[in-house]
Chains A and B, each alone.
Chain A
Amino acid sequence: MKTKKIIAGIMSLAVAGALAGCGGGSSNTAPAQATTQAPADTAAPTVEEQEAGAVTTAGEQVTAAETNENISLSISWWGGDSRHEATQKALDAFTAAHPNITIEPQFGAWSGWEEKMSTAFYAGTAPDVNQVNWNWLYNFSGDGSIFADISALADFDTSQYDPVALKQCTVANKLQAIPVSMTGRIFYWNKSTFEKAGIDTPKSLADLLAAGETFKTVLGDDYYPLAVGEYDRMILMTLYLESKYGKEWVKDNTTLNYTVEEIADGMAFIDSLEDAHVIPSIATITGDGADSLDKNPKWMEGKYAGIFEWDSSASKYEGALNEGQEFMVGEYFPDMGETHGGFAKVSLGFSICETSQHKAEAAQLLNFMLNEAEGVEIMGSERGIPLSKSALSLCKEKGILNPTVAEANAKVLTWVSFGLDPNYENAKLKNAPDGVYQDAFGGLSFDEYDVNKAAQVLYDGVTAVLSGQA
């Protein structure tokens, strides 16, 4: 009987422990609220906090302490090998300058990264500093509970940033991330394949449409001047519609600015590209068996001679090409419409978690990586063309910007007229295999939908997401 009671006791303790351990959702919001409210109605700081200078009175910014106390900071990011190496070097340089701070890095490829980080944010176990996607601020911390207000941290110099860019990262009245770079989509061409076809790279939509037939007759059925997946098609259609109709895709972040008929026009445009052998069908791209276009043998060999990609991704696609292929940044097409359509968005940023015990030191680290000469020189343009004025000027002076990325970024920022609504990349719209974009453009390409049906699917899906009913 006693044994049973003991076992019951152990079980109760274990269940209680499990419940406590799994209650991350509430535990990570509690400190968040406390910290968020700190400047306004903070409780009396402890002696240790006062000595460390970590807590300030109302309205003041938090600064890092001049202390020799050993501090451990963690940081996470995703990316490719070159980004990993550069970031690790920058972290080494930072710890050399701050010997009392130890850094624990966590990094990996993008695949599966969002799933991993989302659960960590929810559980309150995410690192102190995190590379974040712009829409994460809205998806994970729309109420401001996950990420700290960086404007309250004096060790980070926000004056280096354009207020408009900072505003894009201000959610729930908190500067939840520092935008590292801005990015937009632009055409890139494999010049060698176009030369092989005997034509120049497209300078207009008419050139592009004509190139489809030339590729087919001169080079063969396997050759296409451009390759775009479902999400690429959505962005390309947005560029087309915004250029033609002169209005942004979503108005005031709340209302879809296009009618079903107008969207059907955009769908017809995409359909015409497939019909004119400009782009391969979704089935063809799927059949290639590659996870992404940069890993697709047809891109590497030059059979797909163009992409419509983020300016910050240029080096990835350029590096994937087989030897002897010449990669170049394309132009926007003036004959798409009277307006300079397209959008630029914050490509990625860095956030500090509300759960971090060392926010001021985390801000110091970010400032080192993004604003200070030593860190900036190591990081270069690994995360796109820096938005920080000091970083940009140093990179230009030292000539350490990737010329292709710099050219593409300049073209994007010069051309595009619109911003991006935070729901554009909502999981319900974007994610494979059942996102709305996948459904609409996949259905059109697989001939399951005509342009009107595809437009209706897209219209209904986007409207539902914007109204919060999806």
Chain B
Amino acid sequence: MENSKKGGTTAPTKLQVFYRRNYGGLFILIWLVGFLIFRLYPFISSFYYSFTDFHLFKGVTQTGLMNYKQIFSDPKITGPLLTTFKYVIMTVPLKLVFALFIAYILNYKIKGVALFRTVYYIPSILGGSVAIAVLWKALFAQQGLINSALALFGIAGKNWLAEKDSALFIITLLRVWQFGSAMVLFLAALKNVPPELYEAALIDGASRAKQFISITVPLITPIVFYNLITQMCQAFQEFNGPFIITQGGPRGATTLFSLLIYNRAFKAFEMGMASAEAWVLFVIVMVLSIISFLSQKYWVYYGDER
């Protein structure tokens, strides 16, 4: 009261004080509600459902570990799990190496480099779209553009979509083709490598390859690590490619785990089993991420470390 007299203003009410201290919370309220409804609730409920035989139209009749037991014993589930690992092992290294290769080239001062950077980034914008997946299917059809091009050189094309190994390779290629975002990060990392290190190495007679292996690679390992984690997570969750291009065929050769989960949940309506499969996928990605993080100290170089 005294203060207000001195200052010529009235003291704020408790409500006003509370508002001033906490109004920032309003800004995150929309996100928070969305998070609770669309993330946290499904996260918790799916964990519960994973221990039930919940069917969308038949409800729950049984609870227990039966879903998890089946996941690790049913070849119709372990098959797609192995295929997913195969896909990740093919996709992630190929994509990282290719992205680094292109970034390395674009790091040179060549004419029209800005244009090339843009052009190489375009697949990342388009790559995940349904239209590109449809185009991919048309490219690799038996009478598609790839086989027609091969025929010009007298090479007999493959039945890409109908052979197990080539079908998975096509799906892999679609993901590798979207190397733009990884490339941009590599490019930024390459630009941050101090040029004087190369100069010193050159004076010492180091070849380009030696410079790359001994200077470039160690200095960009934080970005390699970041790209590895993000690309691995994405690869484990790949859905569009197999869903649109091959529908999981031929003979289940491209049935990745996310497609299996989708089919289980929305075609067979077995939400309990689908939840268990989703949790298995989540745990796999989490464990591999933790292993990657733990391995950092052996191969990732951070400039601020002593």
Interface residues of A (CB under 8 A from B): 2-3, 6-7, 10-11, 14-15, 17-19, 21-22, 25, 114-115, 118-119, 121-122, 139-142, 146, 282-284, 286-290, 297, 427-428, 431-434, 442-443, 446, 448
Q: Are A427 and B37 in contact (CB under 8 A)?
A: no
- A286-B249, A287-B142 given; A115·B267 CB < 8 A: yes
Please report the C-alpha to C-alpha distance between residue A146 and residue B140 in the assembled complex, in whole angstroms. 43
Kindly list chain B residues whose C-beta atoms are within 8 Å of the C-beta of A11.
32, 36
In the complex, whether B162 has a CB less than 8 A from a CB of chain A is yes
Kindly list chain A residues whose C-beta atoms are within 8 Å of the C-beta of B268.
427-428, 431
Q: How many chain B residues touch A (Cβ–Cβ < 8 Å)?
A: 41
Q: Which of A18, A114, A121, A139 contacts B37 (CB 8 A)?
A: A18
Kindly list chain A residues whose C-beta atoms are within 8 Å of the C-beta of B40.
15
A interface footprint on B2-44 (CB within 8 Å = 1, 0 otherwise): 0000000000000000100110010001001100110011000
Q: Could you list 27 A-B pairs, sorted by A, with CB under 8 Å?
A: A3-B25, A10-B29, A11-B36, A14-B36, A15-B36, A18-B37, A25-B59, A118-B266, A118-B269, A119-B266, A139-B269, A282-B162, A283-B162, A283-B163, A283-B250, A284-B142, A287-B142, A287-B160, A289-B142, A289-B144, A289-B161, A290-B141, A297-B143, A427-B269, A432-B249, A433-B251, A433-B252
Interface residues of B in 38-80 (CB under 8 A from A): 40-41, 45, 56-57, 59, 76
Kindly list chain A residues whose C-beta atoms are within 8 Å of the C-beta of B41.
15, 18-19, 22
* B18, B25, B160, B267: most-surrounded residue (chain A CB, <10 A): B267
In the complex, whether B263 has a CB less than 8 A from a CB of chain A is yes
Q: Are A139 and B57 in contact (CB under 8 A)?
A: yes
Q: Are B36 and A18 in contact (CB under 8 A)?
A: yes
Please report the C-alpha to C-alpha distance between residue A254 and residue B17 in the assembled complex, in whole angstroms. 71
The A-B contact count (CB < 8 A) is 108
In the complex, whether B248 has a CB less than 8 A from a CB of chain A is yes
Q: Are B255 and A289 in contact (CB under 8 A)?
A: no
A interface footprint on B76-96 (CB within 8 Å = 1, 0 otherwise): 100000000000000000000
* B18, B33, B251: most-surrounded residue (chain A CB, <10 A): B251
The 9 closest A-B pairs by CB, nearest first: A289-B141, A433-B248, A287-B142, A283-B162, A287-B159, A115-B266, A286-B162, A18-B41, A14-B36
Identify the closest chain B residue to A115 (Cβ).
Answer: B266
Given A287-B159, A289-B137, A442-B250, 12 extra CB contacts under 8 A: A3-B22, A15-B36, A22-B45, A118-B57, A122-B57, A283-B159, A284-B162, A287-B142, A289-B142, A289-B144, A433-B247, A446-B251
Q: Are B251 and A288 in contact (CB under 8 A)?
A: no
In the complex, whether B138 has a CB less than 8 A from a CB of chain A is yes
Q: Are A10 and B32 in contact (CB under 8 A)?
A: yes
Identify the closest chain A residue to B264 (Cβ).
Answer: A434
Least distance between B259 CB and chain A CB atoms (Å): 8
Q: Are A140 and B57 in contact (CB under 8 A)?
A: yes
Q: Are A142 and B57 in contact (CB under 8 A)?
A: yes
Q: Are B248 and A434 in contact (CB under 8 A)?
A: yes
Q: Are B162 and A432 in contact (CB under 8 A)?
A: no
Q: Which of A22, A142, A288, A446 contacts B142 (CB 8 A)?
A: A288
Q: Are B141 and A287 in contact (CB under 8 A)?
A: yes
Least distance between B266 CB and chain A CB atoms (Å): 4
Identify the closest chain B residue to A6 (Cβ).
Answer: B22
Kindly list chain A residues whose C-beta atoms are within 8 Å of the C-beta of B33.
10, 14
Identify the closest chain A residue to B147 (Cβ).
Answer: A287
Least distance between B33 CB and chain A CB atoms (Å): 5
Kindly list chain A residues whose C-beta atoms are within 8 Å of the C-beta of B59.
25
Q: Which of A15, A17, A289, A448 contacts B251 (CB 8 A)?
A: A448
- A427-B268, A433-B247, A448-B251 given; A284·B159 CB < 8 A: yes
Identify the closest chain B residue to A141 (Cβ).
Answer: B57
Please report the C-alpha to C-alpha distance between residue A424 and residue B266 in the assembled complex, in whole angstroms. 19
Please report the C-alpha to C-alpha distance between residue A284 and residue B158 in the assembled complex, in whole angstroms. 11
Kindly list chain A residues whose C-beta atoms are within 8 Å of the C-beta of B266.
115, 118-119
Q: Are B21 and A3 in contact (CB under 8 A)?
A: yes
Least distance between A230 CB and chain B CB atoms (Å): 10
Least distance between B306 CB and chain A CB atoms (Å): 39
Kindly list chain A residues whose C-beta atoms are within 8 Å of the C-beta of B29.
10
Kindly list chain B residues whose C-beta atoms are within 8 Å of the C-beta of A287.
141-142, 159-162
Please report the C-alpha to C-alpha distance between residue A11 and residue B32 in the assembled complex, in whole angstroms. 8
Kindly list chain A residues whose C-beta atoms are within 8 Å of the C-beta of B142.
284, 287-289
Least distance between B169 CB and chain A CB atoms (Å): 14
Kindly list chain A residues whose C-beta atoms are within 8 Å of the C-beta of B250.
282-283, 286, 442, 446
Please report the C-alpha to C-alpha distance between residue A427 and residue B265 in the assembled complex, in whole angstroms. 11
Q: Which of A146, A289, A427 contacts B267 (CB 8 A)?
A: A427
Kindly list chain B residues whose C-beta atoms are within 8 Å of the C-beta of A427.
267-269
Least distance between A437 CB and chain B CB atoms (Å): 13
Please report the C-alpha to C-alpha distance between residue A141 and residue B40 in the assembled complex, in whole angstroms. 30
Identify the closest chain A residue to B37 (Cβ).
Answer: A18
Please report the C-alpha to C-alpha distance between residue A428 and residue B160 in the assembled complex, in whole angstroms. 27
Kindly list chain B residues whose C-beta atoms are within 8 Å of the C-beta of A297.
143
A interface footprint on B152-185 (CB within 8 Å = 1, 0 otherwise): 0000000111110000000000000000000000
Please report the C-alpha to C-alpha distance between residue A284 and residue B142 in the assembled complex, in whole angstroms. 8
Please report the C-alpha to C-alpha distance between residue A289 and residue B21 in the assembled complex, in whole angstroms. 61
Kindly list chain B residues whose C-beta atoms are within 8 Å of the C-beta of A10.
29, 32-33
* B21, B56, B160, B248: most-surrounded residue (chain A CB, <10 A): B56
Kindly list chain A residues whose C-beta atoms are within 8 Å of the C-beta of B159.
283-284, 286-287
Identify the closest chain A residue to B157 (Cβ).
Answer: A287
Please report the C-alpha to C-alpha distance between residue A283 and residue B248 in the assembled complex, in whole angstroms. 14
Kindly list chain B residues whose C-beta atoms are within 8 Å of the C-beta of A140.
57
Q: Are B141 and A434 in contact (CB under 8 A)?
A: no
Q: Are B267 and A443 in contact (CB under 8 A)?
A: no
Please report the C-alpha to C-alpha distance between residue A124 and residue B189 in the assembled complex, in whole angstroms. 52
Least distance between A316 CB and chain B CB atoms (Å): 19
Kindly list chain B residues whose C-beta atoms are within 8 Å of the C-beta of A432.
247-249
Interface residues of B in 248-280 (CB under 8 A from A): 248-252, 255, 260, 263, 266-269
Kindly list chain A residues whose C-beta atoms are within 8 Å of the C-beta of B251.
433, 442-443, 446, 448
Least distance between B192 CB and chain A CB atoms (Å): 40
Q: Are A434 and B57 in contact (CB under 8 A)?
A: no
* B142, B144, B268: most-surrounded residue (chain A CB, <10 A): B142
Kindly list chain A residues whose C-beta atoms are within 8 Å of the C-beta of B143.
288, 297
Q: Which of B32, B138, B249 contacts A433 (CB 8 A)?
A: B249
Kindly list chain B residues whose C-beta atoms are within 8 Å of the C-beta of A428.
268
Q: Are B252 and A289 in contact (CB under 8 A)?
A: no
Least distance between B242 CB and chain A CB atoms (Å): 9
Kindly list chain B residues whose C-beta atoms are within 8 Å of the C-beta of A115.
266-267
* A286, A290, A448: most-surrounded residue (chain B CB, <10 A): A286
Q: Are B263 and A434 in contact (CB under 8 A)?
A: yes
Q: Are B255 and A434 in contact (CB under 8 A)?
A: yes
Kindly list chain B residues whose C-beta atoms are within 8 Å of the C-beta of A434.
76, 248, 252, 255, 260, 263
Least distance between A373 CB and chain B CB atoms (Å): 38
Q: Are B140 and A289 in contact (CB under 8 A)?
A: yes
Q: Are B267 and A431 in contact (CB under 8 A)?
A: yes
